[in-house]
Amino acid sequence: MVSTAGIIIIGDEILSGRTKDTNINWIANELNKIGIRLIEARIIPDDPTTIIETIKFFTKNFTYVFSCGGIGPTHDDITTECVARAFNQELVKSDEAMRRLAAHYEGTNIEFNEARQKMAVVPSNSILIDNPVSAAPGYKIENLFVFAGVPKIMQGMFHTILHDLLGGIKLLSKTVSSNLGEGLIAKDLEKIESEFEDVKIGSYPYFKPGNFGTSVVLRSENKDRLNEASKKVLLSIINHGGKGKILEENEIDDRSL
């Protein structure tokens, strides 16, 4: 059975363009390393109804769900309240979270005030997630992992829960770089994907001054089938009078064909 995942990014600041999201890309790469398939990622506003409905849908449909954002000390950090409502749980002030936060602020000039104590409030049926960066914990409830939105903090939290994730076979990929427009090889790509049902194929055109073409990305769990399909894509490019190259996994597509 393949483990699946969904990512929920919460925050008006992301949707307004004031803050750029990098968490989806980072989590997706980490999940791919351990063979978990990211099925959907959604960016939603700080709206209680939207957050609750999204959490319910994601936790019902994916093996693992990761939410980022909305667990800080300010008035618009409403994720925890919404998570509790989604799971029909009470909110409680965690003694362990309070201990960690008090120790973090001790000896600093920052007051551990009521607003900051809000970060110790979690749903009653949850397990704390360590925060090695700034102490304020995230938490897990059923198949939902609730992280901070700040990328470095989120990454630190994610690494502490890796042992909780059951992965599978890693999804392998190959890129075939070409100096042809995707329209010329579109029908061939469709035929190749029909022949190789266990290989997913995507074509991505690129444009830059004096140069254009298509990068064809193939993905599969089966290395031999992936290699065979990649060779057929390359042959299609050559047969249409173009130049192409099958890139190695870590090779950069410099698009200079």
pLDDT at position 107 is: 87
- The dihedral of CA 102, 112, 126, 40: what is its sign? negative
Q: 218 in helix, strand or coil?
A: strand
pLDDT at position 36 is: 96
**H helices of the chain, where?**
12-15, 23-33, 48-61, 79-86, 95-105, 114-117, 151-160, 182-195, 223-239
pLDDT at position 131 is: 95
On whether the CB atoms of residues 212 and 164 are closer than 8 A, the answer is no
13: tokens are 């600041």
Record: fold of 4-164: Molybdenum Cofactor Biosythetic Enzyme; Chain A (3.40.980)
Q: Where in the chain is the domain with CATH 3.40.980.10?
A: 4-164
By C-alpha distance, which of 126, 118, 161, 119 is closest to 55? Answer: 126
Q: What is the Cα Rg of the chain in Å?
A: 23
Strands 4-10 and 37-44: parallel
pLDDT at position 252 is: 52
Low-confidence ranges of the chain (pLDDT < 70): 249-257
d(CA 210, CA 206): 11
pLDDT at position 199 is: 95
pLDDT at position 206 is: 85
Count the Cβ atoms, other than its own, within 10 Å of residue 36. 24
Q: Where in the chain is the domain with CATH 3.30.70.1130?
A: 172-247
239: tokens are 């047969």
d(CA 156, CA 178): 39
Q: 30 in helix, strand or coil?
A: helix
On whether the CB atoms of residues 234 and 252 are closer than 8 A, the answer is no
In words, the CATH class of domain 172-247 is alpha beta
**Surface-to-core class of residue 53, CB atoms within 10 Å of its CB (0-12 exposed, 13-18 middle, 19+ buried):** middle
pLDDT in tens, 44-76: 999 999 999 999 999 999 999 999 999 999 988
pLDDT at position 46 is: 97
